């Protein structure tokens, strides 16, 4: 019985030792496998993080690029436009005023601004010279007339006023003191459609006082009478 027990004890002890010895290598392998798996998972996690960071950086770069282009475009809108069709040093000719509309039968010469020369000698009285004789009725005092005119200094011929340059004929009542005396006296009786030259001594114009920018001294006007009513 003791031998058997002893044998059994030996057998039991050996089986325990063999089982324990057999399990030890399996535990190390499992640990190595677990470590490898953990390292693999960590590497995959790192790769995912790097991919996500790279994608985010790409998106930010695109957003920054688009934002920069928008900013540049908005800045260009605030900049003044640069003229490319004409050199800044090249003078621009002013547009000619439109030709006035004339009544039927009016001489075509009245469509063009006249050239007015200076006078000569001493001017002592009103002088009316017909340059183009109209075919309309004679102007009467109290009527409202429409005219185009050019005014120059009698001495020297320098222009100081012209309705042609404004592109708008002058309309006023004649013979009632609305205009200078030389016009009130010189235009009454002139047929509509006429072009007349009025040479006015200073006392029938603005006098000899040039204060306030008035043209002083004797003056010469060329007046086109376009209408009267």
What is the model's pLDDT at position 44? 72
pLDDT, mean over the chain: 77
Range from 21-25, 82-86, 122-126 carrying the lowest mean pLDDT:
82-86
pLDDT digits (tens, 9 = 90+) for 146-187: 999 999 999 999 999 999 998 899 999 999 999 999 999 999
Is 221 annotated in the active site?
yes
Annotated catalytic residue 154 = no
* Catalytic residue (one of 154, 184, 199, 206): 206
| Known catalytic membership, residue 172 | no
33-47 mean pLDDT: 71
DSSP letters, the chain, are -HHHHHHHHHHHHHHHHHHHHHHHHHHHHHHHHHHHHHHHHHHHHHHHHHHHHHHHHHHHHHHHHHHHHHHHHHHHHHSPPPP-SS-TTSPPPPPPPPPPP--TT--GGGGSPPP-----S---S-EEEEEE---SPBP-TT-EEEEEEEEEETTT--EEEEHHHHT--EEEESSSSSS-HHHHHHHTTPBTT-EEEEEE-GGGTT-S--GGG---S-EEEEEEEEEE-
160 is catalytic: yes
Catalytic position from the list 11, 160, 165, 172: 160
User: Looking at 107, 153, 161, 203, which residue is catalytic?
Assistant: 161
| Per-residue pLDDT tens over the stretch 106-140 | 899 999 999 999 999 999 999 999 999 999 999 99
pLDDT higher than threshold 60 for residue 141 = yes
Catalytic pick among 145, 174, 199, 221: 221
Annotated active-site residue in 107, 153, 180, 203: 180
Note if 180 is an active site residue: yes
% of the chain with per-residue pLDDT over 70: 61
Catalytic residue among 149, 154, 174, 199: 149
Please report the pLDDT score of residue 60 as a whole number. 55
pLDDT at 150: 98
Q: Mean pLDDT across the stretch 194-219? A: 95
């Amino acid at each position: 019985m003791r031998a058997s027990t002893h044998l059994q004890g030996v057998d039991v002890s050996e089986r325990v030792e063999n089982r324990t010895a057999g399990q030890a290598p399996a535990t190390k392998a499992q640990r190595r496998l677990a470590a490898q798996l953990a390292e693999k998972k960590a590497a995959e996690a790192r790769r995912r993080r790097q991919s996500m960071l790279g994608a985010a950086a790409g998106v930010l770069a695109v957003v920054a690029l688009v934002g920069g282009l928008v900013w540049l475009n908005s800045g260009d809108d605030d900049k003044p436009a640069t003229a490319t069709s004409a050199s800044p040093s090249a003078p621009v000719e002013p547009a000619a005023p439109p030709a006035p509309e004339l009544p039927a039968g009016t001489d075509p010469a009245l469509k063009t601004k006249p050239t007015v020369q200076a006078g000569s000698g001493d001017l002592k009285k009103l002088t009316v010279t017909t340059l183009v004789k109209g075919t309309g009725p004679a102007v009467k005092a109290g009527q409202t007339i429409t005219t185009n005119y050019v005014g120059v200094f009698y001495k020297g011929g320098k222009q100081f006023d012209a309705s042609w340059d404004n592109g708008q004929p002058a309309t006023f009542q004649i013979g009632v003191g609305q205009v200078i005396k030389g016009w009130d006296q010189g235009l009454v009786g002139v047929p509509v459609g006429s072009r007349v030259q009025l040479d006015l001594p200073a006392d029938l114009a603005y006098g000899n006082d040039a204060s306030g920018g008035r043209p002083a001294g004797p003056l010469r006007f060329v007046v086109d009478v376009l209408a009267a009513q």
